[in-house]
Amino acid sequence: MTLDARIPEGPLAAKWEQHKFNVKLVNPANKRKYDIIVVGTGLAGASAAATLAELGYNVKAFCYQDSARRAHSIAAQGGINAAKNYQNDGDSVYRLFYDTIKGGDYRAREANVYRLAQVSVNIIDQCVAQGVPFAREYGGLLANRSFGGAQVSRTFYARGQTGQQLLLGAYSALNRQIAYGKVKMYPRTEMLDLVMVDGKARGIITRHLITGKIERHSAHAVILATGGYGNVFYLSTNAMGSNTTAIWRAHKKGAYFANPCFTQIHPTCIPVSGEYQSKLTLMSESLRNDGRVWVPKAVGDKRAPQDISEEERDYFLERKYPSFGNLVPRDVASRNAKQACDEGRGVGSTGLAVYLDFADAIQRDGLDKVSQKYGNLFDMYAKITGENPYESPMRIYPAVHYTMGGLWVDYNLMTSIPGLYATGECNFSDHGANRLGASALMQGLADGYFVIPYTIGDYLAQMKTEKVPTDHPAFNQAEQEVVSRVNRFLNTKGTKTVDQYHKELGLLMWDYCGMARNAEGLRFAKQKISELKADFWQNVRVLGANEELNMTLEKAGRVADFIELGELMVDDALHRNESCGGHFREEYQTPENEALRDDENFAYVAAWEYTGDNQPENLHKEALNFENVKLTQRSYK
């Protein structure tokens, strides 16, 4: 079967307009006859739920948190891109499109990325109208700054909490529809399975996290907006609850999983300090505008940073990439930090860190100016590490941040299951192999406010309005599977905790399927994960009952799915015999140790089809055709 991405015909710039005209419409009076389920209420989910309800559909929205406002979109710091050209610096839709395609190392679909750039302009208008307090100039107009990978100032921001403010905008739009009764909100509710009727997505099975009640929800279409799966690595910058269960369950029901091994590693994270550590905290990338990255030249030099003289320091990014210096893209900065540590030149007690030094900036601009720019980040660092970054350099290390892989979707954001859509981070679509900064927020809101409300109508208009009753045999069967899985966890009564398995999996994934991989390591990891999986189902210990708040039970289900996803990530990394973006296969590199792409053989989306437990998955390839950009080797020298 060849994957049909349903990319509209015609010139790039006209595709979306033409497509909006071609899609079938649902009569306003008929919209209220359709029910739509939205799982997840971050930027992609809340914006979709609110907008679909505004249009007149009946929406049921679900989130595992206690409030829709706590989705992990809230933690995004930096900003959101839009091709507004307010700064008159030559920005345009085409330039944003071009930067994004290039930033993704030519592994994203042209048509999707162009549409993203087009609607970026509407996103800012929409958010401002909702009262999102973006940064402004003294004259009252919106302020912009520039972000990694772009040479124009197109990033809109709200101090260091852009994600929080954008999400509050979407959450308020959602609240309005909840108050109108057009959205029924289900917080503290987790989707545990997808219900299929006649080959179409027609509902979900959920568990209420306080009462344990298993419920059935029927709809005409289901939208998954459940975010990324970076917690497969255990330590990541994701919220603790971010998980893969919804998309993994959908995958097992027939939704193809695309580019699972594409994980973005962020270079400026506070390093791991002990085995108890539960999560990693990102420091804004903007720090690299003034901070200088270095390690000692000598292997094993454990002296305090102030005792190491200038001549004994290696400012490796400035040395290797003179034109971009400390501002090289995320994958380049990350890989070089790892390399320095692998050579034994890492700093701090673990040796897994490099210095980010502000001494020169403080000397040049003064303490006040540096503190004005980065004060809140310095405070955060001091709070977490107990060290004063004004006096000694920060220590940073790369960390898992964002997953570019996800469910395969066509141009309409529909997965390979009719009636099942995936939006935001949980789909694979717009970022290619190495997402740029400030583009994730853009995609979440583009999908939710401006894409899915148009494209889902095309599907609904072609189906009957009859509802599937929740006593349909497909619901019985799906619920039965969920209940027996829950019981299996509770009855295993093993000796190892869920967290022990999660940590073990995470370490395997990080060591062998992280920033740098090779075939031998991936094969080793594959074997180890398979053993871990067998052991998990024999020896996991979940106490308590289903009919109560049971956080261990919640975690057990999520970790079981992470283990299976981990296997697929390893397979995907193993089959891609090239290095692209942050996905560095050590066998494929240039003489200067840079990523070596193979456009001849790998300019495609790898979409995996589930074929049964413990069976190898089928690989489907969606060829990526570049008609508007020329594929070039990225260089930041």
Partner 1 sequence: MNLTLRVWRQKNANSPGQLVTYNANNISPDMSFLEMIDVVNEDLTIKGEDPIAFDHDCREGICGMCSMYINGRAHGPEKGTTTCQLHMRKFNDGETITIEPWRANAFTINKDLSTDRSALDRIQQAGGYISVNTGGVPDANEIPIPKNIADKAFDAATCIQCGACVAACKNASAMLFVSAKVSQLALLPQGKVERKTRVENMLAQHDAEGFGACSNIGSCAAECPVGISLENIAILNREYLGAKLTSENVG
The 10 Å CB-count burial string (b at 16+, else e) for 545-580 is ebeeebebbbbbbbbbbbbbbbbbbbbbbbebebbb
Cβ closer to partner 1: 495 or 618? 495
**Rule CB under 8 A: which of 73-102 touch partner 1?**
74-75, 84, 86
* Burial state string for 18-53 with b = 16 or more CB within 10 A and e = fewer than 16: ebeeebeebeeeebebbbbbbbbbbbbbbbbbbbbb
For position 179 contacting partner 1 by CB under 8 A, the verdict is yes
Q: Is 160 exposed, middle or buried (0-12, 13-18, 19+ CB in 10 A)?
A: middle
Q: Give 72 or 517: the residue with its C-beta nearer to partner 1.
A: 72
Burial of 474 (0-12, 13-18, 19+ CB in 10 A): middle
Q: Give min distance, CB of 158 to partner 1, in A.
A: 7
**Which residues from 495-514 bind partner 1, rule CB under 8 A?**
495, 497, 499
Q: How far is the CB of 468 from partner 1 (least distance, A)?
A: 28
Q: Which of 170, 637, 229 is nearest to 401 (CA)?
A: 229
- Among the listed residues 109, 216, 249, 330, the single catalytic one is 330
Among positions 339, 539, 552, 589, the unique one binding partner 1 when judged by CB under 8 A: 552
Q: Does 25 bind partner 1 (CB under 8 A)?
A: no
Q: Which stretch binds partner 1 (CB under 8 A): 236-244, 356-364, 484-492, 557-565?
A: 236-244
Q: Residues 382 to 411: which contact partner 1 by CB under 8 A?
A: 383-386
Nearest CA to 265 out of 241, 282, 290 is that of 282
Contact between 122 and partner 1 by CB under 8 A: the answer reads: yes
Q: Does residue 114 sit in helix, strand or coil? A: helix
Measured from the CB atom, the residue of 313 and 541 that comes closer to partner 1 is 541
E strands, 67-169, in order: 80-81, 155-156
User: Per-residue x/- marks for partner 1, 137-166, CB under 8 A?
Assistant: xxxxxx---------------xx-x--xx-
Report in angstroms how near the CB of residue 295 gets to partner 1 at its nearest: 22
Window 596 to 635, contacts with partner 1 (CB under 8 A): none
Q: Is 330 a catalytic residue?
A: yes
Q: How many CA atoms lie within 13 A of 560 on its CB side?
A: 22
Piece of 18-26, 63-71, 287-295, 597-605 that binds partner 1 (CB under 8 A): 63-71
Q: Is 323 exposed, middle or buried (0-12, 13-18, 19+ CB in 10 A)?
A: exposed
Q: How far is the CB of 377 from partner 1 (least distance, A)?
A: 12
Q: Shortest Cβ distance from residue 77 to partner 1 (Å)?
A: 9
Q: Produce one character per residue of 608-629: b if its CB has 16 or more CB atoms within 10 Å, e if not.
A: bbbeeeeeebeebebebeeebe
Nearest CA to 212 out of 558, 482, 536, 501 is that of 482
Whose Cβ is closer to partner 1: residue 13's or residue 551's?
551
Binding residue for partner 1 (CB under 8 A) from 88, 278, 323, 615? 278
Q: How far is the CB of 263 from partner 1 (least distance, A)?
A: 19
Of 15-23, 216-224, 270-278, 605-613: span binding partner 1 (CB under 8 A): 270-278
Largest CA distance in the chain: 76
* Cβ at position 136, least distance to partner 1 in Å: 4
Q: Which residues are catalytic?
A: 330
